[in-house]
Amino acid sequence: MKRWNHCSLAMLLAGMALVRMAGAAEHRLHPSTEQKPLPFAAKGASPLVAAQPDGLRVAASGQPVRVHLVPAAGVWDCSSKLWMLLDVANLGDAPVLVRGQIKSAGTSAWSVTDDAVEVPAGATRTLPILVSRKLSADDQQRMVSALGDLRGFPGGHQNSSWRQVDAAKINGVQLDFFTDAPKVDCLLSKLRGAIDFSLPSAGQLETLHRPCMDRFGQNTAEEWPLKIGHAAQLPERLRQEEAWLAKQAPLQGRSRFGGWTLGPKTEATGHFRTLKRDGKWWLADPEGNLFWSLGITCVGHDQGGTRTAGLRKALENTPSDETLPPLLRGLKGESWNPYQANLQRKHGAEWAATNAEFAHRRLHAWGINTMGNWSSPEFYHLGKTPYVVAVHYDRPLIDGRDGKWGNDLPDVFHPEFRERTFARMREEARSAADPWCIGYFIDNELSFPDAATPGSKALDAPLESPARQRLAAWLLEKHQTVEALNAAWGSSFADWSGLRPVDGKKTEAYWQDLKGFGELYLRTYYGTCRDAVRAAAPGKLYLGSRINHVKNKTALSVCAEYADVVSVNFYNYTPDALALPQGFDAPILVGEFHFG
């Protein structure tokens, strides 16, 4: 989309889950037959929506266009259906992407299920929205006991606690429209439920107790043309892919780093850098070519393992065509990695080194020019494809723990935070001198859903917490006396040592103070990380912390002041759905992006 032409780096998350490719040929999961009509109307009076004999017409300019649909009466009962479907006719002259979410009575959050369809100009397509339903405690326990803690159960149930809806009381559909055209002009009709939903009975669950995967890690319940039937097929597939790779010509107009040699030249610094040209942010490769990074995360051969009781017994019998010992079939203890086993079958004894080289050939043939976050050093240190580095380390946390790295908030006011950050960056000496290294993420998806979170956590921390002590000092400097603080917060602290979260309704001043401290926290955090990267790797880019709470505009703005590139993890159908702070002017890196 046009608004995202300034984006300097986009990375694609590998390992996508079920992708619902709506808009193409009718899919068996959401056919147009077997419908349950769901009468609907637009929520409130809206100049965007006009009632038509055959539906609602949405006609509006601006981006994005948002419309809420509600039941014509009461709620929609989709307890017996797996999908909600809506027909969208595009009356405009440019494609429109339509995204849909649902919610149910008694909840304020929209379902995390994001479904979308692209509707060509003059065409009609069906938007499918999966009903991510909440099960009763008994049904949940029955399914987990029989099948394990799977992400998806037979019948279509998504076993996830993220914003599930009450399928019997759905009371809203939120639609967002994205287009490059000056306006959106669409007709909405035929909202309905589709595909009967039911959980397996106790008897049916018993029949599901069978190996769900074969020794190659393939689904035993399905057949498809390229399914592996015996071990000798894997080396043959390798020969076929080798032949295909040999026919792939290198992308034209690309440098050895994947930069754009046919575009404007910039200063060659020997490292990747950022620049703004004609109002748009870019990366430049070490040779001075403009660079748009398209990458895949987790490039390596350690992915795809599973740990399930009984695996060794299920896999202990070696078929007649299999000569690998148990360890080379992916077994290690009670864990199993069929991907590694297949690599060994495919590449032979030197499978690890061979596969690392082979991965680069594949990436280049596919047009991929970056190894994204979590990729393996044994792959990216081969000097064949640009890469980014994930920097993680243990450090003191706000709540007083000396925590393992994760998304818990570090205590940035603890003296060891700065020491450990600088020490960890000094360990990156090899990548700091490597021209193929784009730069560093420090941390991943830290838990600050809003600007007040660091202050709230500091307020609830132990007395000896440096973050709590810094908050108390900051509040003392602002309010001067505890009596003034009590007047502002509606609290009754006897002294500064008694600071704690206020019970009940909070005053506006309370939230403003916590947000103000949150900004101080973020400036200290991003400033320290930036300084550590500059000290250890002065030629490399500091890529931020991979912000997943993108509604925290303070985090985005403060990160932009310190990081060379603001990184976000954004799971959606289009980056146009990301609402940036007013006046934001910085390159953005989408570190994880998919719509499974």
pLDDT tens by residue, 242-269: 999 999 998 999 999 999 999 999 999 9
Categorise residue 348: left if φ over 0, alpha if ψ from -120 to 50, beta otherwise: left
- In angstroms and rounded to an integer, the radius of gyration of the C-alpha atoms of the chain is 27
Asked if residues 188 and 134 have their Cβ atoms less than 8 Å apart, the reply is no
Sheet with 280-284: list strands edge to edge. Answer: 260-265, 289-291, 280-284, 273-277
Asked if residues 297 and 14 have their Cβ atoms less than 8 Å apart, the reply is yes
Give me the mean pLDDT over the 311-322 stretch.
Answer: 64
Reported as a pLDDT band with limits 50, 70 and 90, residue 369 is: very high
Which two tokens mark 544? Answer: 């931020």
Nearest in space to 4 (alpha carbons), one of 594, 584, 499: 584
Classify the C-alpha dihedral 242-248-249-255 as positive or negative. negative
Tell whether the model's pLDDT for residue 33 goes beyond 70.
no
Q: Tell me, what's the pLDDT at 321?
A: 63
Reported as a pLDDT band with limits 50, 70 and 90, residue 276 is: very high
Q: What percent of the chain has pLDDT over 70?
A: 89
Nearest in space to 176 (alpha carbons), one of 117, 261, 226: 117
E strands, 333-442, are 335-336, 370-371, 387-391, 395-396, 402-403, 437-442
Average pLDDT over the chain, rounded to whole? 88
Q: What is the pLDDT of residues 477-496, one digit of tens each?
A: 999 999 999 999 999 999 99
Asked if residues 408 and 397 have their Cβ atoms less than 8 Å apart, the reply is yes
Asked if residues 238 and 405 have their Cβ atoms less than 8 Å apart, the reply is no
Q: What percent of the chain has pLDDT over 90?
A: 66
Q: Tell me, what's the pLDDT at 6?
A: 30
Distance of alpha carbon 567 from alpha carbon 545, whole angstroms:
6
The single residue listed with the structure tokens 């006396």 is: 481
Asked if residues 180 and 222 have their Cβ atoms less than 8 Å apart, the reply is no
306-315, Cβ contacts within 8 angstroms, sequence gap of 24 or more: 306/335, 306/336, 306/337, 307/334, 307/335, 307/336, 308/148, 308/334, 308/336, 309/334, 311/335, 311/336, 314/211, 315/215
Q: Tell me, what's the pLDDT at 139?
A: 87
Q: Is pLDDT larger for residue 306 or for residue 10?
A: 306
- The CA–CA distances, whole Å, from 130 to 75, 111, 167, 376, 473 equal 17, 9, 10, 35, 50
- Please enumerate in sequence order all residues whose Cβ is within 8 A of that of 31, keeping only pairs 6 or more positions apart, or say none: 194, 195
Crossing angle of helices 233-246 and 351-366, rounded to 10°: 40
> Which DSSP string corresponds to 537-564?
-TTSEE----B--TT-HHHHHHHHHH-S
Which two tokens mark 430? Answer: 């090899």
Cβ atoms within 10 Å of 375's Cβ, excluding its own: 23
pTM above threshold 0.85: yes
Asked if residues 291 and 263 have their Cβ atoms less than 8 Å apart, the reply is no
The single residue listed with the structure tokens 């859903």 is: 449
Q: Tell me, what's the pLDDT at 113?
A: 67
Tell whether the model's pLDDT for residue 234 goes beyond 70.
yes
Q: Is pLDDT larger for residue 504 or for residue 158?
A: 504
Reported as a pLDDT band with limits 50, 70 and 90, residue 595 is: low
Tell whether the model's pLDDT for residue 584 goes beyond 50.
yes
